[in-house]
Amino acid sequence: MSGQAARLRELAASGRAGREPTSWLGPRSIAVASGKGGVGKTSLAVALAVGAAQQGLEVLLVDLDLGLANAHLLLGVSGGPGLCETLRAGAPPTDALRRARAGLRLVAGARSPEATARMSGPERRTLLQAIATLGRRADLVLLDLPAGMGATVVDAARAAHRLLLVTTPEPAAIADGYGLLKRLTQADALGPRGVELWVNAARSRGEARRAAGRLRTASRRFLGRDVGILDAVPEDPAVREAARTPCCFMESAPCSGAARAVRRVLGVWRRSGAARSASPGREKESAPCTPIPDFASRRLPLPSSSSAPR
């Protein structure tokens, strides 16, 4: 075990020191991933996309959950053929685009597992190159990755500029999140790009801090990789209600604790340059919110620009 951990630390260090990230999808591309299903990854990816569009950004959301796609359900749009199916049919990538909201375009995922069950490496690269073309003019490109550690996750993490790892405080989610980081480190799919951890459905600030601390400590000790910690998302009934509808809680409950947590993360990204600011005249004013008690007033420490992994 100690020898394997040392090798993983060497891989992480050599990646940070030896090369620039490939980032096929550009500096404003962010892959949203999770080690296991059921942690709210897709709900948060959709919320980030809707929230950024509400702030006047041009957003491309790509549902890469090939075979079990459901981002289109939360946005209330037709799934249609996914990008993989579109490319296999010889059609242009734009045929897979759906206009979900003003400023928000969706590339829906595949409608059946059979359509993408045997996607080859060259096909995955073609898929990512098509995404790069579709997102060329976007202010923010968000990839909703499949849960787990499959080849699509590895390739998309390598192509994106940043990785946002979603977990919950549950031990199984934390263990699987670490497992995903380990897999991506072994595959040299992260390099010097930043990894940011987002704890979802936390019942308290302390619970979120402890969960983030456990994963961060394991990553530092065994992988030699630090992870940034984003503001936690509180356990919020508005999120569960939106999932039942289905819809996006940024629209059904814009003043909820979860919606405010999403806006704080978007603010951090825009200040760091991860998302381009809206052009003059495109910035939209949000309605004032009546304060709702949560733990938002005490923020988790965010990594400084000098210490955050890139």
In this prediction, residue 305 carries a pLDDT of 35
CA atoms within 13 A on the CB side of 149: 15
Give the total number of structural domains in the chain: 1
In this prediction, residue 309 carries a pLDDT of 37
Return per-residue pLDDT of the chain as tens, 310 residues.
556 555 555 545 544 444 444 567 888 999 999 999 999 999 999 999 999 999 999 999 999 987 678 899 999 998 778 888 898 899 999 999 999 999 999 998 876 666 556 688 898 999 999 999 999 999 999 999 999 999 999 999 999 999 999 999 999 999 999 999 999 999 999 866 789 999 999 999 999 999 999 999 999 999 999 999 998 999 999 999 999 999 999 999 999 999 999 999 999 998 887 777 665 555 554 556 654 445 543 344 433 333 333 3
Query: Does the residue 199 lie in any domain?
Result: yes
DSSP 187: T
Query: Does the residue 138 lie in any domain?
Result: yes
In this prediction, residue 206 carries a pLDDT of 94
What is the DSSP track for 206-249? HHHHHHHHHHHHHIIIII----EEPPPPBP-HHHHHHHHTT--H
Query: Does the residue 281 lie in any domain?
Result: no
Query: Does the residue 299 lie in any domain?
Result: no
In this prediction, residue 55 carries a pLDDT of 96
Domain that holds residue 105: 2-272
Contacts of 264 (CB under 8 A, 6+ apart): 231, 296, 299
Query: Does the residue 207 lie in any domain?
Result: yes
Rounded Cα gap, residues 65 and 144, in angstroms: 7
Query: Does the residue 297 lie in any domain?
Result: no
Rounded Cα gap, residues 110 and 26, in angstroms: 24
Q: How many other CB atoms are there within 10 angstroms of residue 272's CB atom? A: 16
Q: Give the position of tokens 């420490």.
A: 301
Q: Extract the tokens encoding 106.
A: 């969706």
Note the pTM of the prediction, 2 decimals.
0.86
Query: Does the residue 240 lie in any domain?
Result: yes
Query: Does the residue 283 lie in any domain?
Result: no
Q: Which CATH number do you get for residue 205?
A: 3.40.50.300
